[in-house]
Chain A
């Protein structure tokens, strides 16, 4: 007995020792500890971070991407270069430099397109360097609004038009973390268990318009499965216009910029050069001019207008001009006749070349007003001689003005005398126009500062109607370069993004990463909208412009807690970031931006019939964006069904064998007991 015990103990001890010995060798690496079933599920179904391409509709059909039906799309992942003969739909992993060729091939080769379940786009920084240019937009963006005949002119040389086509599968741009998640799961497969598993991507990007079967704007607006594109433009006058005195209106010098851009992927569109560089130059000029004394004594009134929705049929400018015709509240203080000069600031971020910032002034037509503007630009340029700035007139061989808000102004009134300042002459220098790659690294902040300086001084000259360059006031107009640089990082980068101090001083942003896509217009359009429906950038611009163009009445500043100020010409600014805002005297207003073909009635949008007096409305596609529930992509590993069946068979076998064994043991025991 004792021997048996000792033998037993010895065996057990050896076993334990054997088991523990190899352990000290291999515990160096990290284990992700799973502490609960939800943790396990998160590790199994890896959520992939990124930016989707969504479904947009117009009067005649759809563009963009969506799940083909109402179900999730699950398809095995394969790299584009490994694609040979696909039998079932796959998820194609495409790199940024392959994107243009891939989407062009999809549109032309239908058999190839039918084998695509979904697309994941990898746009890491290593691919960006390989790309010389990439623009998913057309060769002549928004050519149908051009005021001149030559619509074949190639303004955008890097164009591929891929964002304007209809794709019947989901497309997702991977973020940095998304790329590493996908690569990790693909490498695991290669290393270990490749034969009976496959890695799949699951796209949950079902669009409501697909679910409801509404495939154009009219149908989807009727069903309520989509919303029209638009937003809120902002205008402000320096100094404030007193609405009460309708006489003695000074002629207006209107400066225009846009705040919206677009790209293949709705949430990754910074639009650094086109058009945010122009917007920042405008804000820099406003900041510089706000510090000049005697602005109210100038002969002309300066008005700054920042439009949105320009990418989608010049919604902002068309609605602004329409509101001017209607003499509505949104444009109280302005009128069609009072606007004498228009200066638009287009893309000004890529003017730096060889140490000199060169900008081109494109004029709508030859007139005394445009000559005056060009002269003012030249004078401003000369006064800034030390800053290496050159302003040149655009080539007369150009068919006309480049795609810009002025095209809409011209179409409305062919007699418009206006000038648009751009960093290019005969075609775009921005090789990433309307793409997700038009980010902060695509522009030069000194170019934007230079443009702001020129514009500020030009506006002062135009407003003072004074050609005297020795005017000391002109020499005192300086743009704050650090302000411009900070603003660029707020509007064109995720760090610090809209959480930067400059923006947080005025508003409480809902997102940190700026997305300069116009988005949809929410709720009822009005000049005093519910601020929860107004985008972060619009609210920032309204507060900023109101602050910079305000005048102080007396020494006391009153506070406003509910956004309402007691005096009629006062507005309440900074009401979001601080609990209580400040009342300032300023003329700063929101103007809704939406198609002139749309009307809002009782909570629904209706499309108005074509009206020959609205020539731009006749060619307006009336863009809308589909609603959706969720936009998510997961990546996980799936076993082949043969393996699953094998496991079930194994389980049944084990159970049956055990049952047989138990029955056998029972009969042996009963037999043994019955032997007496």
Chain B
């Protein structure tokens, strides 16, 4: 497929994350650190999961329920780790706030906290895209292309890039929702994130069916846009609240 197409696929999967990194994350060193640590956490979770599942691999290719079980256990584990990540962040937030008080500087703004959550989510998303899409992309830079039997209209690399883009979106914005949910004790938000993650994971199983990707990928993008919209709504609400609070406190 040549270098042209290879770069194209890489941009489809990670272009938006690159844009986000350049415009938001790269401005503040602390965010870069957050992205990196979140990426590391996600990779560690994958390593542990693969260690747990090693005795049962390779899974039989023509039955779908072992894969469903795999997705379920992985999502549960990663959601648990997300909660742990939030706990560590909370501790860190307290440390940073008390430090700010000591040197008479302002505490973390709402936007700062949202940006940290965004960076955390981006770390997860980028790790997902690199692991599930970029690592397979090296053959795409050669002259040949590849079509899978079960999704034969579109090259394999394009499908994996599109799916990776959806997951980047989902991971990035669901971290914001999760952090706000845990901070405010909002049950809807807290439950929504694991449910979305699980639904997205299960939707990829639709690709097992012959030409299933025609249904599976649009549905996946539906979930991704739901996440984006809900996050947008939530952030807008919080901003309005904080603005009212700050004007009320004057």
Contact = CB atoms under 8 A, between A and B. Distances in A.
B104 interface: no
B16 A655 contact: yes
A639 B223 contact: no
Contact of A26 (B22, B165, B210): B210
A110 B87 CA distance: 78
B132 to A, nearest CB: 13
Interface stretch (B31-39, B78-86, B95-103, B149-157): B149-157
B64 A659 contact: no
Contacts of B235: 669
B199 A12 contact: yes
Contacts of A193: 147, 152-153
A650 B223 contact: no
A654 B16 contact: yes
A101 interface: no
A676 B247 contact: yes
A192 B148 CA distance: 11
Interface string A453-495: 0000000000000000000000000000000000000000000
B99 to A, nearest CB: 24
Interface string B202-241: 1101101110100110010001000000001001100110
Contact of B5 (A23, A188, A192, A644): A644
B143 to A, nearest CB: 6
B203 A15 contact: yes
Given A16-B202, A636-B143, A9 B1 contact: no
Interface in A85-105: none
Contact of B144 (A12, A15, A45, A647): A45
Contacts of A30: 61-62
Contact of A650 (B8, B16, B144, B246): B8
Interface stretch (A36-44, A54-62, A423-431, A597-605): A36-44
Contacts of B183: none
A188 B145 CA distance: 13
B198 interface: yes
Given A31-B62, A650-B12, A1 B188 contact: yes
Contact of B12 (A8, A40, A74, A654): A654
B64 A23 contact: yes
Contacts of B15: 651-652, 654-655, 658
Contacts of B4: 641, 644-645, 647-648
A197 B203 CA distance: 29
A16 B155 CA distance: 26
B63 interface: yes
Contact of B158 (A4, A40, A647): A647
Given A20-B205, A191-B152, A659 B19 contact: yes
A91 to B, nearest CB: 15
A1 B188 CA distance: 7
Contacts of B158: 647
A115 B131 CA distance: 44
Contact of A74 (B11, B143, B199, B240): B143
Of B1, B144, B196, B215, which is in contact with the most chain A CB atoms at under 10 Å from its CB? B144
B10 A8 contact: no
Contacts of B205: 19-20, 23
B195 interface: yes
B42 to A, nearest CB: 21
A663 interface: yes
A202 B143 CA distance: 11
A66 to B, nearest CB: 22
A148 interface: no
Nearest to B109: A673
A211 interface: no
Interface in A34-88: 35, 37, 40-41, 43-45, 74
A638 B199 CA distance: 35
Interface residues of A, number: 64
Contacts of A648: 4-5, 7-8, 11
A16 B5 CA distance: 33
A366 interface: no
Given A191-B152, A637-B144, A19 B206 contact: yes
A265 B145 CA distance: 31
B188 A37 contact: no
Contacts of B147: 188, 192-193, 197, 637
A27 B208 contact: yes
A647 B58 contact: no
Interface in A1-37: 1-2, 4-5, 8-9, 12, 15-16, 18-20, 22-31, 33, 35, 37
Contacts of A647: 4-5, 8-9, 12, 158
A125 interface: no
A27 B146 contact: no
Contact of A19 (B2, B8, B202): B202
A662 to B, nearest CB: 5
A666 interface: yes
Contacts of A31: 61-62, 149-150
A23 B146 contact: no
A661 to B, nearest CB: 8
Given A15-B223, A31-B62, A645-B4, A37 B12 contact: no
Nearest to A646: B8
Contacts of B7: 648, 651
A655 B18 contact: yes
Contacts of A385: none
The 9 closest A-B pairs by CB, nearest first: A651-B11, A655-B15, A658-B16, A647-B8, A636-B144, A659-B19, A648-B8, A192-B152, A644-B5
Interface of A: 1-2, 4-5, 8-9, 12, 15-16, 18-20, 22-31, 33, 35, 37, 40-41, 43-45, 74, 188, 191-193, 197, 636-639, 641, 643-645, 647-652, 654-656, 658-659, 662-663, 665-666, 669, 672-673, 675-676
5 contacts: A5-B187, A15-B202, A27-B208, A45-B142, A74-B143
Given A12-B199, A16-B202, 9 more contacts: A16-B199, A19-B206, A22-B206, A23-B208, A25-B209, A638-B145, A644-B5, A647-B5, A672-B243
Interface of B: 1-2, 4-5, 7-12, 15-16, 18-20, 22-24, 58, 61-64, 68, 111, 135-136, 138-139, 142-147, 149-150, 152-153, 155, 158, 165, 186-188, 191-192, 195-196, 198-199, 202-203, 205-206, 208-210, 212, 215-216, 219, 223, 232, 235-236, 239-240, 243, 246-247
